[in-house]
Chain A
Amino acid sequence: MIRALGWLAAIGLGVGLVMAFGVAPRETTQGNVQRIMYVHPPLAWVAYVAFAVVALASVVYLVRRRPAADRLAHASAEVGVIFTGLAIATGSIWGKPTWGTWWTWDARLTSVAILFVMYVGYLLLRGTIDDRDRAARYCAVLGIVAALDMPLVHFSVYWWRTLHQPPSLMKPGGFSGSPAILWPLLVNLAAFTLLYAYLVAKRARLLRAEHGALA
């Protein structure tokens, strides 16, 4: 099952790569630089999905106390932090030639950076607690606090300043670009989501094995 997921993700990423470089047209103003769009938004999307899963699994853990929910939250947080880091890195690489700077304290960039440090803190907390039950409870609380904090972070940072282009895919009225750009992007979105699911499933199973070996 997990292996099949892995193959699906691999095939999806392969197709996505071919579409990003072969099918998608060369953008007129940004040139080939724009092709990073087929990687950057999917990474950011997966990061948000991952942290939403952390929050849901945390609630389930606090209510039902199933260790599986805790393992899911743990695995999803780890993968989420990696993808957030990659989203920031690819954003930087994209920002340098188009905005002329690696980093700017724009609203969206800042809120993603806050997201990143918040969940690095989450993983730090996990790392410092030896008792598994306690780690699960504390991290569940932190996972919920962090998730509910995100709207507040979003608004506060947005009122503070903004420069990032508005979302082009998920917004009222739908996508504004041409279908030639839309399809490669959607394929990559799906492929990265599959990759996320594969990594989380793999990591959760590894955690179960670890806990079983230590118990």
Chain B
Amino acid sequence: MTFARRAAVVAWKDLLVERRSKETLNALLFFSLLLLFVFQFALGPDRERLAGVLPGVLWLGFILSALLALGRTFLLEREHDCWEGLLLAPGDKSAIYLGKLAANLALMAFVETLVLGLFVIFFDIDLGGALPGLPLVVALGTLGLGAVGTLFAAMTAHVRAREVLFPVLLLPVQIPVLLATVKATEALLLGESLGAVAHWVKLLAAADVVYVVIGLLTFDAVLEG
């Protein structure tokens, strides 16, 4: 089996289990709906103020649901004693990382699309002007979040207090991604062109490359035993 094929098998396995059990997905969808309530209560009905904080709030929604989704990356293996099975997979362990990352990205993309849709409906945002740029920024940000999240999820899977430790480790490392995505989203929603946020997009792309490369190189050491 080639490297790509092994990664695809891991991703396929995770997505298949998720499609059949819908454990994470159902909880995430409901959670993102609840987030809308919370944001609405916290911010009040004032449309002017809402427009100003919307990019930040949108990413807060993405991050909170991503934290939940990513934290569960290795739950299946841990709870059903399949960890050894995963370790016994032949060849380079970084294929497992890539597969897990791909499955996480698919899940996050699904939830983010939904959250974005809910935002458009409930907060009445006009995505028209931001259209070519926003999906790009969201995709780059999600890749950065997922790349480090998948790695850290493997690290915290066997640790005491992992539910607390996972966000505590992930959030500080992800500050560049959060700043870049929020600032770029803000500018795009104000109707600026993609060229105006080029420096943020480049930063995100650089961050993604750095994170994925670290993940691929170090995952072997994380999964060792």
Of the candidates A134, A141, A149, the one whose C-beta lies within 8 Å of that of B158 is: A134
Contact: A149 with B218, CB < 8 Å? no
Q: Cα distance A142–B211 when bound, in Å?
A: 12
**Residues of B contacting A149 in the complex (Cβ-Cβ under 8 angstroms):** 173, 176, 210
B181-215 vs A, Cβ < 8 Å mask (1 yes, 0 no): 00100000000000000011001001100110010
Tell me how far the C-beta of B110 lies from the nearest C-beta in chain A, rounded to whole angstroms.
27
8 Å CB interface, A123-153 against B: 124-125, 128-129, 133-134, 137-138, 140-142, 144-146, 148-149, 152-153
Q: Cα distance A149–B203 when bound, in Å?
A: 11
Contact: B183 with A137, CB < 8 Å? no
Given A152-B207, A156-B175, verify A142-B221 contact (CB < 8 Å). Answer: no
Q: Cα distance A144–B214 when bound, in Å?
A: 8
**Residues of B contacting A118 in the complex (Cβ-Cβ under 8 angstroms):** 172-173
Given A145-B148, A152-B203, A156-B180, verify A124-B173 contact (CB < 8 Å). Answer: no
Report whether over half of chain B's contact residues are helix, strand or loop; otherwise say mixed: helix
Residue ID in chain B nearest A154 by CB atoms: B176
A-binding segment of B12-20, B100-108, B123-131, B161-169 = B161-169
Tell me how far the C-beta of A139 lies from the nearest C-beta in chain B, rounded to whole angstroms.
9
**Residues of A contacting B165 in the complex (Cβ-Cβ under 8 angstroms):** 121, 124-125, 128
Given A114-B175, A148-B214, verify A121-B169 contact (CB < 8 Å). Answer: yes
Contact: B221 with A153, CB < 8 Å? no
Residue ID in chain A nearest B222 by CB atoms: A141
Tell me how far the C-beta of B30 lies from the nearest C-beta in chain A, rounded to whole angstroms.
29
Residue ID in chain B nearest A149 by CB atoms: B173
Contact: A155 with B214, CB < 8 Å? no
Asked whether A117 is an interface residue with its Cβ less than 8 Å from the other chain, the reply is yes
Asked whether B159 is an interface residue with its Cβ less than 8 Å from the other chain, the reply is yes
Tell me how far the C-beta of B186 lies from the nearest C-beta in chain A, rounded to whole angstroms.
12
Contact: B172 with A114, CB < 8 Å? yes
Contact: B221 with A140, CB < 8 Å? yes
Asked whether B224 is an interface residue with its Cβ less than 8 Å from the other chain, the reply is yes
Chain A residues within 8 Å of B, Cβ to Cβ = 62, 114, 117-118, 121, 124-125, 128-129, 133-134, 137-138, 140-142, 144-146, 148-149, 152-153, 155-157, 159-160
Can you pick out 11 interface pairs between chain A and chain B where the beta carbons lie within 8 Å of each other? A121-B168, A128-B159, A128-B161, A137-B221, A138-B222, A141-B151, A141-B214, A157-B175, A157-B179, A160-B179, A160-B183
